[in-house]
Amino acid sequence: MPRQRKTTRPSQRELPFSELQAEIPDKGVEEGFSLLYSEINKFIKSGVGKKAANTKKSLWTKRHSKEFLSYAGMIARPGADGGWEKLLRSRPYRCALLSGVVMMVLDKHVFSDLLFGAGSEHAEMLRMEDSFMVNIEGFQRTDLRAKTNRVYLEATGGVPPLFWKRVDKMTAQILAMLSPIYSAIGAETPSQSSYQTLHDIVSLAGWLNVAIRLSPKITAFEWVQPGEAYQFSYLCIGEEKNMASNGHNKAQDDQIRRRTRVMISTAPKITRHARGSDGFFTGTETYEVMQPHVVTYSGTLADWEDNRVVPLQSLTRNGSLVFWGHVLSLLMSIMRLTAVLFIVGVIGLIVFGTWTGIPGGHGGSSSLSWIVQMVLWPIRLTFQSLMLSVRMILQNSEVRTDYSLMSTGSWLSKQ
The pLDDT of residue 138 is 79
The pLDDT of residue 309 is above 80: no
Q: Which residue has the higher pLDDT, 138 or 241?
A: 138
Question: DSSP letters along 223-275, please?
Answer: PPPTTPBP-TTSEEEES--SPP---SSHHHHHHH-EEEEEEEEEE-EEEEEEE
Q: Indicate the helix (H) or strand (E) that contains 387.
A: helix 365-396
What does the pLDDT average to over 310-315? 62
- The one-character DSSP state at 6 is P
Residue 190: its pLDDT value, please?
76
| CB atoms inside a 10 Å sphere around CB 151 | 10
**In terms of DSSP bridges, do strands 293-300 and 235-238 run parallel, antiparallel, or are they unpaired?**
parallel
- Please say whether the beta carbons of 93 and 295 come within 8 A: yes
- Give dist(CA 234, CA 222) in Å, integer: 12
pLDDT of residue 308: 64
Higher pLDDT, 275 or 25: 25
- Which helix (H) or strand (E) segment holds residue 287: the answer is strand 281-290
Read off the pLDDT band of 301 (50, 70, 90).
confident
Q: Summarize the confidence of residues 332-336 as an average pLDDT.
A: 68
Cβ(218)–Cβ(272) under 8 Å?
A: yes
Residue 41 burial (10 A CB sphere; 0-12, 13-18, 19+):
buried
For residues 90 and 239, give the distance between their C-alpha atoms in angstroms, rounded to a whole number: 13
More confident residue, 361 or 200: 200
What is the share, in percent, of the chain residues with pLDDT greater than 70? 63
Mean pLDDT, residues 48-53? 84
Beta bridge mates, 293: 235, 267
Q: What is the pLDDT of residues 225-256, one digit of tens each?
A: 998 999 999 999 875 544 443 444 444 444 44
Of the candidates 46, 390, 34, 361, the residue with the CA atom closest to the CA atom of residue 196: 46
Q: What is the mean pLDDT of residues 260-285?
A: 84
Strand ordering across the sheet containing 269-278: 218-222, 269-278, 281-290
Higher pLDDT: 47 or 410? It is 47
Residue 18, CB-side half-sphere exposure with 13 Å CA sphere? 1
The pLDDT of residue 413? 33
Is pLDDT above 70 for 12? yes
Q: For all residues of the chain together, what is the average pLDDT?
A: 78
Q: How many Å apart are CA 113 and CA 29, to the nearest integer?
A: 17
Q: 405 or 274: whose pLDDT is higher?
A: 274
Q: Residue 133 in 3-state DSSP? A: coil
138, with CB counted inside 10 A (0-12, 13-18, 19+), is middle
Largest distance between two CA atoms of the chain: 118
Q: How far apart are CA 118 and CA 162, in angstroms?
A: 6
Position 177 pLDDT exceeds 70: yes
pLDDT greater than 50 at residue 15: yes
Domain residue ranges of the chain, discontinuous segments joined by +: 17-318+400-411, 321-396
- Read off the pLDDT of residues 198-216 as tens digits, 9 standing for 90 and up: 999 999 999 999 999 999 9
279 pLDDT band, cuts 50/70/90, is: low
pLDDT band at 357 (very low <50, low <70, confident <90, very high): low
Element (H, E) at 294: strand 293-300
